[in-house]
Chain A
Amino acid sequence: MSQRTRNTLLHRARALLVLVALLLALGGVLSTAAQRPNGAGLVIRHGDGTLIYAYVQFDEDSISGLELLNRSGVDVTLAPFGGLGGAVCSLNGEGCPSDNCFCHSFSSPAYYWHYYVNDGGGWLVYPVGPSSRTVTDGDIDGWSWTSGDSGLPSTDIDNVATITGFDRSPAEPTATPEPPPTATPTPATPEPTATMTSLPADTSTPMPTLTATIEPATSHTTQPLVALTETATPVPTVTATPTRGPDSTPATVPSTATAAPTAAAVIVTPGATPVPLVAGESSGDNGTPGYVLFLGMASVVVAIGAVVVLRNRSRSA
């Protein structure tokens, strides 16, 4: 084989290789575009029976249970718990401070945040903390402020996604709930922008009607949160199907929107008052007076230090 023929073959082989690589890359891009993002559910039951459903989308193969809590926008207080990971002291303000994480567990009945995982048929107690739990697509974590039974409703990931307004069908990669236009602030008593009707599993239970209001998050995060008010007994085991009403214009994608939301949480409160949950809201104040005091005291210490150094120098001289 001549040198020229060999060069020609080499060039063709290279061209073929580049073509195959391009095709593979294109296929990867197309398959990624068609793929639904991973998503996991979260069900939180407070002591008064309030239920919070959250659905979190993520690009990674898996996230930790702590990340799931964090990304859902729920206010979490943690305490380090050695090799078992972080212990959850309070969720949304219910529970204990981090320096006394199990403050309500020393008396009978002992209350603390119990951690569960959904195995498809029911809830199983998870033996370690959320930072040691690996959450993959379709998983549901449960938290309950209880002294005994979990009280968590039986549900599945499609149910959680539906309640929170997400679509888990493969062709829809983006979330259904979208932030309203930023120029239109939500009024104090907002008109319902979406109506959710839940059908109880038990026919003896009165049928609750849930109305949902999509509000923008007011803090640094961009997650929209949905507050639900029910007009009847809460039935968490519902197969709710959100149906947007004709006046659901705020839910359209505004031109100023930059990114689709990746998480949403729904509060199911036994009362009739809507309580919007704001994601990422800091529980403490901004600490400015504390900083001023700290700087003042630190200045005093530095001044004393300067005097001491000068005194030592004069003594040694």
Chain B
Amino acid sequence: MSGQINALTWALWFASVVVVPLTSRNPLYLALLLLVVLVVFFSLPKRAGRSSAWRLFAYVGSGVALLSIGFNVLTVHVGDRVFARLPDQLPIIGGPLTVNALLYGVISALAISTVLFAAATFNSAVRHADLVRILPGSLSRFGVAAGIALLYVPQTISAARDIYDAQRSRGHQFRGIRDARAFVVPLLSTGLERALLLSEALETRGFGASATVVQSRPYARLLTAGSAATLILAFVAIGTGAYPLGMAALAGTGMLALYGSPSNSRRTRYRQTEWSVASLTVAIGAGISTVVLLFGRAFVDLHFGYDTFPRIEHPQFSPLAGVSILLLILPATVKQT
């Protein structure tokens, strides 16, 4: 299977990946998902700059996530398996240290690392211009702002690397805090300069201009009324405990509101989104995975609920959920052209 995976498919894949870390603390699912995401991440073709910057971001973020283990152990003193005890006189950290808290910290770190590597994969694989392009017209400004915000991290890392290399080539040695001034000051000035250039470029292209043509959509009022009705339905469903129906109604509300809102900018597209076999396969896999992981629990027990408190118990594993997570490895099997 070869071809190019389009931005919409990557967005669907990313949304499907984050379902498990956001809704479950089952360590088996999280570990399997992290493996899947890592395989997809390392299968991407290396592009100079952008990919390596996001890789660094994921590594640093995962390192920070590991701190949550120690934080959890020191601040949560609940559980049935005590392995050490700090004096009770110590504020916050005083008390029994439990394996339960340690395990919960590990699970949280797994979830955070999974989301970070998924974000790094998504941002390495997709051009942000493509992302803005697939957004509806009413969200185009939001898309531009979000794209700029997302680009901040890799651009800053790239600039930091350039400054570091330039200073080293001039013979500067970074030995301590005092030497950091030669690194931090150019980094700040570069960031400010880039922000000014960006704002001028946006102004030149008319970003934020008020004199735009508002395109009215057919059945706009009907769509808006439908959106309000599904929102009420969502509140009622969630309030009565019908979570799957409530979530589906919320998603419907968003879709109707999106297409019912007027587009405030006229956009032209020179190239339509291509749906190659690879894109279709990955999108179908991600779609099935999302549906099963989000709504499957209404019909079968997917064992998403897991807690290490007050006792550590064996986590359960549902084959259906496992196969759904495995479907997310499909991008790695595509030979991207």
Chain A interface (Cβ within 8 Å of chain B)? 60-61, 64, 66-67, 69-70, 76, 78-80, 86, 97-100, 103, 106-107, 131, 280, 282-291, 293-294, 297-298, 300-302, 304-305, 308-309, 311-312
A94, B296: Cα distance in complex, Å: 24
Contact in complex: B305, A106 (CB < 8 Å): no
A86, B35: Cα distance in complex, Å: 30
Contact in complex: B307, A98 (CB < 8 Å): yes
* Contact residues in B for A280 (Cβ distance below 8 Å): 80, 311
8 residue pairs, one from A and one from B, having the closest CB atoms: A290-B317, A287-B314, A99-B305, A305-B39, A106-B241, A70-B310, A308-B43, A98-B305
**B218-243 interface bits toward A, Cβ cutoff 8 Å, 1 = contact, 0 = none:** 00000000000000000000011101
Contact in complex: B241, A100 (CB < 8 Å): yes
Contact in complex: A304, B307 (CB < 8 Å): no
Judge if B171 is at the interface, Cβ distance under 8 Å.
no
When C-beta atoms are compared, the residue in chain B nearest to A289 turns out to be B317
* Contact residues in A for B42 (Cβ distance below 8 Å): 305, 308-309, 312
**B195-207 interface bits toward A, Cβ cutoff 8 Å, 1 = contact, 0 = none:** 0000000000000
**B305-337 interface bits toward A, Cβ cutoff 8 Å, 1 = contact, 0 = none:** 111011101111111001101100100110100
A285, B315: Cα distance in complex, Å: 9
Chain B interface (Cβ within 8 Å of chain A)? 28, 31-32, 35-36, 38-39, 42-43, 45, 78-80, 88, 239-241, 243, 297, 303-307, 309-311, 313-319, 322-323, 325-326, 329, 332-333, 335
Contact in complex: B314, A284 (CB < 8 Å): yes
A297, B314: Cα distance in complex, Å: 18
A103, B45: Cα distance in complex, Å: 48
* Contact residues in B for A98 (Cβ distance below 8 Å): 305-307
Contact in complex: A66, B332 (CB < 8 Å): no
CB distance from A78 to the nearest CB of B (A): 6
* Contact residues in A for B325 (Cβ distance below 8 Å): 297
**A286-B314, A301-B326 given as contacts; is B78 within 8 A of A308 (CB)?**
no
A284, B241: Cα distance in complex, Å: 24
Contact in complex: A97, B305 (CB < 8 Å): yes
* Contact residues in B for A288 (Cβ distance below 8 Å): 314
A290, B319: Cα distance in complex, Å: 8
Contact in complex: A284, B316 (CB < 8 Å): yes
Contact in complex: A66, B32 (CB < 8 Å): no
* Contact residues in A for B240 (Cβ distance below 8 Å): 106-107
* Contact residues in A for B304 (Cβ distance below 8 Å): 99
Contact in complex: B329, A106 (CB < 8 Å): no
**A280-B311, A305-B38 given as contacts; is B43 within 8 A of A103 (CB)?**
no
Contact in complex: A61, B311 (CB < 8 Å): no
* Contact residues in A for B303 (Cβ distance below 8 Å): 290
Contact in complex: B316, A60 (CB < 8 Å): no
List 26 A–B pairs whose Cβ atoms lie within 8 Å, in order of A's numbering.
A67-B310, A70-B311, A98-B306, A99-B304, A100-B241, A106-B240, A106-B241, A280-B311, A282-B313, A290-B28, A290-B303, A290-B316, A290-B318, A293-B317, A294-B32, A294-B317, A298-B32, A301-B35, A301-B36, A301-B326, A304-B329, A305-B38, A308-B42, A308-B333, A309-B42, A312-B43
Contact of B35 among A61, A290, A305 (CB under 8 A): A305
* Contact residues in A for B36 (Cβ distance below 8 Å): 301
Contact of B326 among A60, A86, A297 (CB under 8 A): A297
**Which of A76, A107, A284 has most B Cβ within 10 Å?**
A284
**Which of A97, A99, A282, A289 has most B Cβ within 10 Å?**
A99
Other 4 A-B pairs with CB < 8 A, given A80-B307, A291-B317: A60-B88, A67-B310, A76-B310, A305-B38
A300, B188: Cα distance in complex, Å: 46
Contact in complex: B307, A79 (CB < 8 Å): yes
**Which of B241, B311, B318 has most A Cβ within 10 Å?**
B311
Contact in complex: A297, B310 (CB < 8 Å): no
**A98-B307, A285-B314 given as contacts; is B78 within 8 A of A67 (CB)?**
yes
CB distance from B67 to the nearest CB of A (A): 20
A76, B309: Cα distance in complex, Å: 9
* Contact residues in A for B45 (Cβ distance below 8 Å): 312
* Contact residues in B for A289 (Cβ distance below 8 Å): 317
A80, B101: Cα distance in complex, Å: 13
A300, B39: Cα distance in complex, Å: 11
CB distance from B24 to the nearest CB of A (A): 8
A294, B32: Cα distance in complex, Å: 8
Contact in complex: B319, A301 (CB < 8 Å): no
Contact of A70 among B38, B80, B241, B322 (CB under 8 A): B80
A131, B317: Cα distance in complex, Å: 28
Contact in complex: A66, B310 (CB < 8 Å): yes
